[in-house]
Amino acid sequence: MSEEYPYRIAVLLSGGGTNLQAIIDSIELGKLPVSLAFVASNKAKAYGLERARKHAIPAYHISAKTHGSQHGAEQEIYRLIQEHQVHLLCLAGYLKKLSPFLITKMRHRIINIHPGILPFLGGKGLYGHHVHQRVIELGMKISGVTIHLVDEEYDHGPIIAQEGVAVADNDDADSLAERVLKVEHKLYPQVINYFAQGKIRLEARRIYIDD
């Protein structure tokens, strides 16, 4: 599976890897013509690594513990990127802030998915359940999903795609998260496909998707 298509991606994650699974499913269904070169996590027991191994995808625990420092971990990630000739690095619930080293090496080739509408409710500490809980606390009527290029700031890079999710009156953070995840699982493979097809264009920090 990992070498079937010439456009190659890699995924970084820290947890269960449901977005990784959505990407794998899209590839196996023939909807996403990319090769998934490897998956890496800063957490040795992240279930996302097990998901990768079940599909014969190389999976690595790479962290400051395994490589001496966060910089050492990113050097190893970049070594793998070069070894596998990865075109696009996809963050899927990766909870470590990337340093300028890796961002510079992969400028405009790292994307992230955020479970909310940016630039609102982004930044340090606002990820996963924390975003959904904040949406409920603020009484917001719309939440959603944002996919963006990664730069040196949290949740800050140019926005590639967004999709809204209505917040029901009886929602709590868990019920909202469930519906937001469904959108994530649809939208992330679509955006990766845009990159694989060469449809993503960046001009003056704005993203355009060509037909």
Q: Which residues are annotated as a binding site for (6R)-10-formyltetrahydrofolate?
A: 112
Q: Tell me how far apart the alpha carbons of residues 168 and 140 are, in angstroms, rounded to a whole number.
A: 9
Q: Which residues are annotated as a binding site?
A: 17-19, 112
Look at strands 200-203 and 159-166 and give their pairing.
Answer: unpaired
In terms of C-beta distances under 8 Å and separation of at least 24 residues, what long-range contacts does 164-173 make, across chains too? 164/117, 166/141, 166/142, 167/135, 167/136, 167/140, 167/141, 167/142, 167/143, 171/136, 172/136, 173/129, 173/132, 173/133, 173/135, 173/136
User: Is 87 a catalytic site residue?
Assistant: no
Q: Which of 84, 87, 114, 185 is catalytic?
A: 114
> Which among 77, 88, 93 is positioned nearest to 33, based on CA atoms?
88
Burial class (CB in 10 A: 0-12, 13-18, 19+), 204: exposed
Residues forming the active site: 114
